Structure 1
Amino acid sequence: MNLALFDLDNTLLDGDSDHAWGQFLCDKGVVDPVEFKARNDAFYEQYKAGTLNIDEFLDFVLAPLARHSREELMKLHDEFMNDVAFGMINEMGKQLVNWHLAQGDLCAVVTATNAFVTERIVRYYFHVPHLIATVPALENGRFTGKARGTPAFREGKITRVNAWLESMALDLSCFEKSWFYSDSANDIPLLEQVSDPVAVDPCIALRLRAETLGWPIISLREKSQDGAGSGIILQA
């Protein structure tokens, strides 16, 4: 059995689900459409620049969850799934995931975006059985607006992946091959841990690192003249 790990936002998805959820809340009038949008956009730019303070961001992005009941949030998330997330699904990303699932690989999505936003995207649209995400804290059945445990961000992804594997009496050394697919330089720490790191439509910083270290660089978005995808063809 081999291991396949996938980043979600801008890797399997065409876009960032965390940022898209914030914009959705603005569009629905659930949050202040001016102030919240400005901060949502600013945090997203910090993420892309590699300067994001994850604690400040989580205080911001999880706060709306604490203001509503679970029932209200689920109704909003139903709309988000239908109106926003469905349109972000990358078909070549689904093919990549399906290839690994068909090989019998142990598969997980590893994302900094919180589990409330991402769980159903991962399970319903990609059929990946395991999700390693930032966990929103709960108290008496309601979200508190805080995160629980280590956020799945940068080095935190290593911590969370190792804990997940340990829960199954495994570690990375148990696998002949371990892949991690990501677009972001924020994921370089985890990419450096696996046997087969793959840069997917990478940002400039990740592309430079991948070129320096000889990591494969693939696209799940570019099309050839005949309409076929230009992503790498994997071999077992």
Structure 2
Amino acid sequence: MGRAAAFFDLDRTVIATSSALAFARPFYRDGLMNRRDVLASGYAQLVYKVAGAGDEQMAKIRDQLASLCRGWPVDQVRRIVAETLDELIAPYVYAEAVALIGQHRAAGRDVVLVSSSGEEMVRPIAELVGADDVIATRMTIREGRFTGDVEFYAAGPNKAEAVREMAARNGYDLAACYAYSDSVSDVPLLETVGYPTVVNPDRALRRAAQRRAWPLVTFRRPVPTRLVRLASSLRRPAPGSLLSRPAVPAALAVTAGAAVVLAIWYGRRRATARTAG
């Protein structure tokens, strides 16, 4: 058996929000988007999440993304993301996702975020939560600006193809790999690995998961920013150590490292406080 990895969809799987929409406000504030752009992007995201998206709808969203970003300075986008990450993303990271990422890292698996959002947004989020790599939408860049052309759109079957290509490069045994997603558009991704799990699924994915007998889990609790940062800084244990044993997705309470334990403890403490109140 070769190496293994865990592939996580981002929006509503690792974070309880849309990564693209989360940055709309600072992009608008800094003049990259106008009010109509913000509304159009929000509508597209709503349609995608509520009704799903076929090939035609995905193509429309891709083209809208390309048109929206045309001419944006890449350095400005990266600066905005870096400056607002702790405010706009960190408070929405699921504690359960942090715990699960910790499990996979402890077991020696690479962790990869797979998202249709732009790489300039996804890679900093990956660093925040402790992921090793990303598969994300890539825009063509010329002279420091986005040209408006999409080099790779990480959605639907494209995600699965990118996972297969990464597995070939890195020597992953896909039968030993894991994948997590909330969206029916990621069925091809989930079918690519040996251990698929659906997280907070939309209605169509729930039906698909029931037909395939895929495990289903629910993530609810956000984790404090300081614990997300601490969890992402954990190092992997040496091969052969107790923490290098395989993780079981259903056993989310089995965590690796003090930061992950604290994340779960914090979530339970909040729930107990609400009940007592």
Where in structure 1 are there 5+ consecutive unaligned residues?
A: 224-230
| Equivalent of residue 121 in structure 2, options 113, 117, 122 | 117
Report how many residues are paired. Answer: 222
In structure 2, do the counterparts of structure 1 residues 23 and 233 end up closer, same or farther at CA, with 3 Å as the change threshold? Answer: same
CA distance in 1, matches of 2:183, 2:144: 34
Structure 2 stretches of 5 or more lacking a match? 223-248, 255-277
Deviation at 1:23, TM superposition (A): 4.3
User: Are residues 1:89 and 2:88 paired?
Assistant: no
Q: Deviations over 1:168-223 (max 9, x none)?
A: 35552xx4x22111111110111122111101111111111112221111012169
CA contact 2:32–2:72 (8 Å) conserved in 1? no
Q: Post-superposition, which runs of at least 4 consecutive aligned residues in structure 1 deviate over 6 A?
A: none
Give the RMSD, CA atoms, in angstroms. 2.3
Larger radius of gyration: 2
Q: Distance in 2 between matches of 1:58 and 1:80?
A: 24
In 1: Cα distance, 2:53 partner to 2:98 partner: 30
Give the partner amino acid of 2:74. Answer: R
Counterpart CA distance in 2 for 1:2 and 1:71 is 34
Q: C-alpha deviations, 1:121-152, integer Å up to 9, x for none?
A: 111x1111111111111123322122113x11
Counterpart position of 2:148: 145
2:177 matched residue in structure 1 = 178
The equivalent of 2:75 in structure 1 is: 71
Identity between Structure 1 and Structure 2 (%):
25
Q: Aligned partner of 1:208: which letter?
A: R
- 1:108 paired residue among 109, 112, 132: 112
Given that 1:116 and 1:136 are in contact with CA atoms closer than 8 Å, whether structure 2 keeps it comes out as no
Deviation, 1:96, is 0.6
Structure 1 residue aligned with 2:228: none
Mapped contact 2:53–2:185 kept (Cα < 8 A) = no
- Which structure's residues are more often helix, by fraction? 2
Shift of 1:79: 3.0
Residues in 2 aligned to 1:71 and 1:113: alpha-carbon distance in whole angstroms: 17
Q: Secondary structure at the match of 2:11?
A: helix
Q: Which amino acid aligns with 2:22?
A: A
The residue aligned with 1:211 is 210
Q: Is the 8 A contact 2:119 2:136 kept in 1?
A: yes
Give the structure 2 partner of residue 25 of structure 1.
27
Question: 1:105-135, CA deviations, whole angstroms, 9 ceiling, x for partnerless residues?
Answer: 1321111111011110111x11111111111
After TM superposition, the score normalised by the length of structure 2 is 0.73
1:227 aligned residue: none
1:189 aligns with 2:188: yes
Q: Relative to structure 1, is the Cα distance of residues 139 and 27 closer, same or farther in structure 2, using a 3 angstrom cutoff? A: closer
Q: Contact 2:113–2:122 at 8 Å: present in 1 too?
A: no
CA distance in 1, matches of 2:154, 2:78: 23
Q: Which string of whole-angstrom CA distances, capped at 9 and with x for unpartnered residues, describes residues 74-126 of structure 1?
A: 33222331321122222221111010000001321111111011110111x11
Letter in 1 for 2:48: Y
TM-superposed deviation, 1:28: 4.9
